[in-house]
Amino acid sequence: MTKPTRTDVSELGEFGLIDRIQSMVSSRYRSTIHGIGDDCAVLDNGEDYTLLSVDTMVEGLHFDLMYCPLQHVGYKAIVSSISDIYAMNGKPSHVIVSLSLSSKYSVEAVEELYKGMERAASFYNIDIVGGDTTSSLSGATLSVTAYGRVKKDQLVLRSGAKTGDALFVTGNLGGAYMGLQILNREKQIFLQNPDMQPELEGHDYVVGRQLKPEARYDVVEALAKASIVPTAMIDISDGLSSECLHLAKSSKVGVEVHEQFVPIQQETYDLSLELNIDPITSAMNGGEDYELLFTVDPSLADRVREEVPDCIEIGIIHKEEKGSFLTSRTNQHYPLTAQGWKAF
Amino acid sequence: MTKPTRTDVSELGEFGLIDRIQSMVSSRYRSTIHGIGDDCAVLDNGEDYTLLSVDTMVEGLHFDLMYCPLQHVGYKAIVSSISDIYAMNGKPSHVIVSLSLSSKYSVEAVEELYKGMERAASFYNIDIVGGDTTSSLSGATLSVTAYGRVKKDQLVLRSGAKTGDALFVTGNLGGAYMGLQILNREKQIFLQNPDMQPELEGHDYVVGRQLKPEARYDVVEALAKASIVPTAMIDISDGLSSECLHLAKSSKVGVEVHEQFVPIQQETYDLSLELNIDPITSAMNGGEDYELLFTVDPSLADRVREEVPDCIEIGIIHKEEKGSFLTSRTNQHYPLTAQGWKAF
């Protein structure tokens, strides 16, 4: 008798696992435009495309109630889910929520979660239209499914980047990761000495990035107003490096990122140095910023700079053979690696 | 300082919790036809209605890997999710899956889950179009979001039952619950003496009902073929009693169920007696049968009997003031109670 094979998910990695799952499911509908492997599933509903996406947050892994108020957990769950719809250049309109909660969660706790979710729903003009609440043996799991639509000629997949395209990123990177470091540091101090007050002063920006991230609906709106359709787009939930690799793999291209242009906010930068982390590492591998990474035809790059607020050109798309790499200020090349993935 | 109030979810109950959540979320879209409080959310997409539903299974609560093979877990997760679409008289076409798995789950385990999900997808003609796989601190949580559509004039809500309507149920009830009892019994025996082989012989039917339930697409198809649109419908995931109460509450009616007509299969019946459980209790309060409970105008009752296979008239709809009750063979009335809910 042979022992059954056991492969750790970590051994296979995110990309390997997605490939494995993709190979196991078949498509039966012509209306299935895009299944597993992008930010959203894309379904042809006749008039336009329906977008569907699910995002899950697990207590102890994606949030820690020691420093994350339940309202923020709810808010973030909605934001991270609808961010996937924006990443397809679409407009989210509805979400449904699945909560699994251990008995430590009271009715009041459920209300706090929903208060945060409803706040996000109000801000992003979304309807929370359903849900399922079950118990769990330990902690909380929030799964939010986002539903949205996009005009057929405005759909943007991960797979459309072409050699020569300009690579843009919105906002700035690494902040949410630095926020997490600060919150973890203060948690450790508190655990050792519960009388100490947490020292979050001077770290408002990065803590805010971690606890209350926002999705870049404004960028999607600006692109539409300027009639610019990116060739590829993805949201940055797992770190710039990892998302560049997703884009490269789906588009069968290489991605070059110029270190000097990667946007890092001052507080993020200073704090990285204070914590002995190279700021570029925070920006490349820190996740949860929910910024958008997109590519456009080089002829449109100037118009993006002029008409889309808060974004910067950070690199260029190459042929696949060149691979994906970071070019340092001293012009050295460092291959991109998917360190950002926190899921396993 | 006043201590913050803490209300256990179990104190409020399922109905109370849904009410509380409903009161907290607002609707911003005219396209939101129906939000929280039915089997599915109903969105107007212009041409017809979009149906969305999410269903979550938690290891240790909804399944036990000691006796539930992973393929069956995957199969059941799909079935329980699309059953909600059928319960709106709709047709499911796509699902997206969210898995949270602890590190004990290998790649091969993920494959087993997907094998089962793909088998269900193939049988019910569904596309699995996406998903999210994250880690968890313990056990597995599967959230399946089902997407479907229904013609506008064929949508069936829980809320449409009218006084005098005939109440029908499909298949038979209590089997899945008896299957669970048998599997639990054998698990205890195995834990005490690992050399014992499980004794499942003679219990194939109920064990099958528990491990591999099916959704009643055939009933929805037969109703369509006969051009019969029920006034209200719901699927039986939490037990007949609990679902009758949902229907009664949403429709603002009372539901009378006649004990003598409640369908109980022979094996379920015999096993109930063997385990000292009144068979009617298994049928009324045992969940996970995924049968359909529906009401029709009394003028259509004969045609339902003739043209819809495998269903039986079990009761009648009264005015709300009469309440909801079971009428025994000796013509006594027992109020229905929502014991079936396993979620908290």
Between CA A288 and CA A290 the distance in angstroms is 5
Taking contacts as CB-CB distances below 8 angstroms, the residues of chain A near B107 are 7-9, 11-12, 17, 20
Cα dihedral across residues B176, B80, B341, B254: positive or negative: negative
Nearest to A98 by CA among A138, A64, A60, A129: A129
Q: Tell me the shortest Cα–Cα distance from A341 to chain B, in angstroms.
A: 10
Q: What are the angstrom distances between the C-alpha of A6 and each of A61, B73, B103, B111, B137?
A: 24, 19, 12, 11, 19
Largest Cα–Cα separation, chain B: 67
pLDDT > 70? residue A344:
no
Q: Tell me the shortest Cα–Cα distance from B144 to chain A, in angstroms.
A: 9
Q: Which helix (H) or strand (E) holds A204?
A: helix A204-211
Q: Is residue A292 within 8 Å of residue A87, measured between CB atoms?
A: yes
Q: Is A43 on the interface with B (CB under 8 A)?
A: yes
Are B52 and A147 an interchain contact pair (Cβ–Cβ within 8 Å)? yes
Instruction: Please enumerate in sequence order all residues whose Cβ is within 8 A of that of A327, keeping only pairs 6 or more positions apart, or say none.
Output: A256, A257, A258, A259, A315, A333
Q: Does domain A9-23+30-154 have CATH number 1.10.3720.10?
A: no
As for the ipTM of the complex, it is 0.91
* Chain A 64-103, residues with CB within 8 Å of chain B CB atoms: 93-94, 96-98, 100-101, 103
- Assign A339 a pLDDT band (cuts: 50, 70, 90): low
What's the pLDDT score for residue B3? Answer: 64
Between CA B49 and CA B26 the distance in angstroms is 20
* Chain B 102-131, residues with CB within 8 Å of chain A CB atoms: 103, 105-108, 110-111, 114-115, 117-118, 121-122, 125-131
Same fold for the pair A9-23+30-154 and A158-335: no
What's the pLDDT score for residue A56? Answer: 94
DSSP designation for B111: H
Between CA B317 and CA B233 the distance in angstroms is 13
- Helices A204-211 and A266-274 pack at an angle, to 10 degrees, of 100
Q: Taking the CB of residue A124, how many other CB atoms lie within 10 A of it?
A: 22
In chain B, domain spans? 30-153, 158-335
Return the structure tokens found at B315: 């009761």
Fold of B30-153: 60s Ribosomal Protein L30; Chain: A; (3.30.1330)
Q: Tell me the shortest Cα–Cα distance from A112 to chain B, in angstroms.
A: 10
pLDDT in tens, chain B (344 residues): 556 688 888 888 877 888 888 888 989 988 888 888 888 999 999 889 999 999 999 999 899 988 889 999 999 999 999 999 999 999 999 999 999 999 889 999 999 999 999 999 999 999 999 888 888 888 899 999 999 999 999 999 999 999 999 999 999 999 999 999 999 988 888 888 888 777 777 899 999 999 999 999 999 999 999 999 999 999 999 899 999 999 999 999 999 999 999 999 999 999 999 999 999 999 999 999 999 999 999 999 999 999 999 999 999 999 999 999 999 999 999 999 876 444 33
Q: Class for domain B158-335, per CATH? A: alpha beta
The whole-number average pLDDT for the span A37-45 is 90
